[in-house]
Every structure is written in C-alpha cells, then in structure tokens.
Amino acid sequence: MQLVLITGMSGSGKSVALHALEDAGFYCVDNLPPELLQPLIEVERVHQAERVAVAMDVRSAQSLPGLPQRLRAIRQQGQPLTVLFLDTTTETLVRRFSETRRLHPLSLQGSQDQHRALIDAIERERELLSELRDQALVLDTSSLRASHLRSEVKALLQHAPAPLTLVFESFAFKRGVPMDADFVFDVRMLPNPHYEPELRTLTGQDAPVANYLLAEPEVADMQHHITRFLNRWLPRMVADHRSYVTVAIGCTGGQHRSVFLVERLARQFHDQATVQIRHRELDALKHH
C-alpha cells in the first residue's frame, strides 16, 4: 500500500494537495487525528487499498508532539510512507489569511492587534511542526498557483518511496531562496548567457545555452565541487534516516546557469537516488 501523509502550515495548500491525490485515485482522509493513523492503516490493509492519503495539521495540536515517533514506528513495521510538508513564507500566509478573512487555528480570539496575533500564531505553528518538517519532503508553495501545486504534488509522488529522494531545484535569487532547500549553491559568479543577445530568451535546457556554458571551465569546476560535496555528505544523511534532500541552485534570473546545472546534476545522480527536478521560475511561467 502506498501511504502519503500531507501536512504543513495552515494556508499552505494542503486541501489543494489532497484533492490532487484524490483525483489521482488515492483514498483520502482529511484532518485525521494522529492517534487514528495506525488503526486506519490496519483497516485499509484489510480492504487491500493500494493508495491512501491522509492530511493532518495543527488542528490536532495536542497530539502532534507524538506524531514523528508514530511515523518512525510505521516505517519500522515495513509500511512505505511518504510525508509531504507544504511550507510557505510568513508574509504569504499573512496575505492569504487577510484576503480570505479566515481565522488561523491558533489565533487568539479577541486580540486587539489581529495582525500581530496572526504572525504569532504562524510562528507557534512553525515551532509545533518543526520536528515533523525535518523528516518530510518539503514543498514551498509561496509562489505556486493551485494548478501548479496540483501538478507538483502528482509529480513528486509518482515514484515509489526509495531510501533517498534527491530534488534538484533551480531558482532566481531576486525572488528569494526556496524555503524547501536543504542545501543552497550560489552560481551567480559564473559567466552569464543573459548578456549574449542570441541566448537571452533561451533557457539552460536549450542546446545553445548548454554549449556556451560547457565551454566555460568555471562551470565545470562548479559542477565538480557540488558533486564532491554531495557525494561526501549524502551517505551520512541516509545513515541518519533522512529520506528527502533538496539541493537548490540559484542564479540571478533562474533561467540559464541554475537550470543548466540542475539538469546536469540530476543526470549525474540518477543512479544514486530517486531524482526529481524543479525549475521554480520556469515552472511558474508555464502555469501563468
């Protein structure tokens, strides 16, 4: 049975993610109390369910502290489990709650300063979920539209759970560092195809840009150093029971250098882990 747990910050898109899995054929349960997860698994085994998705969040705050231990026990029983944690910047969450006029589950009602109360509630939620986030595959939904989020969720969960899922993500520094990154590499010092008129409108996935960057020794050096770093530390992370690692490569616009290196590194590590590719800026353009 493929078991997926959707969790994360309130307002980050968990309902959208759960609906995406329901459309993909998962049996879905929303807002399940953590103490009922094991009984649900046993029932669905009896029913021979193939795909089950469960959403949990801070509404079960009193039971959350014990959830990471419950998840470790489930994995030790041999049940494959994917935990997907949706995260979002505080600024984005404040805007979303303000636009919808919804009350955060941890907000103190009757507070005179509702803006401050909302920020405090968000920070309390981050603290409550921090241990759970550490053992999950994290997806930053700050800049994702609903359609893009549905596509991302389906793409991330199309593979069976593996000892290690390695996500390579390109991004633009001018739009901020991804919240889901475990490692961030800055490649803005490399030669920039943007300044070549014939390459400006292309991306790092196009052959002319790739040929331009392959001709630059510094680009090969950067790839070599990132590879050495990952080869040194990924085995230690697997030994420490880390199932998901996101490596973010950033350049100025998230179009040429970072995209090229993400594609190259993904091919390079394809035999060592379940590899996934995200191009944050390019993917966002596709869904606009």
Give residue limits of the domains in the chain: 2-156, 165-286
pLDDT band, very low/low/confident/very high, at 194 (cuts 50, 70, 90): very high
Please return the burial class of 115, using the count of CB atoms within 10 Å of its CB with bins 0-12, 13-18 and 19+: exposed
Other beta carbons within 10 Å of 153: 26
pLDDT band, very low/low/confident/very high, at 154 (cuts 50, 70, 90): confident
Average pLDDT, the chain: 90
Q: Are 144 and 278 in contact (CB under 8 A)?
A: no
Highest mean pLDDT among 103-112, 113-122, 196-205: 196-205
- How much is the pLDDT for 177? 93
Adjacent-strand bridge partners of 278: 169
What is the fold, at CATH topology level, of the domain defined by 2-156?
Rossmann fold (3.40.50)
- How much is the pLDDT for 48? 92
**57 CB-near residues (< 8 Å, 6+ apart):** 7, 8, 10, 14, 31, 105
Average pLDDT for 10-35 = 92
Nearest by Cα to 75 from 5, 138, 156, 159: 5
pLDDT band, very low/low/confident/very high, at 275 (cuts 50, 70, 90): very high
Q: Over the Cα atoms of the chain, what is R_g?
A: 20
Q: Global pTM? A: 0.74
Lowest mean pLDDT, pick from 24-38, 78-92, 101-115, 160-174: 101-115
Q: What is the DSSP string of 205-244?
A: TSHHHHHHHHT-HHHHHHHHHHHHHHHHHHHHHHHTT--E
The predicted-structure confidence for 222-266, as pLDDT tens digits, reads as follows 999 999 999 999 988 887 767 789 999 999 999 999 999 999 999
Lowest mean pLDDT, pick from 155-159, 213-217, 219-223, 232-236: 155-159
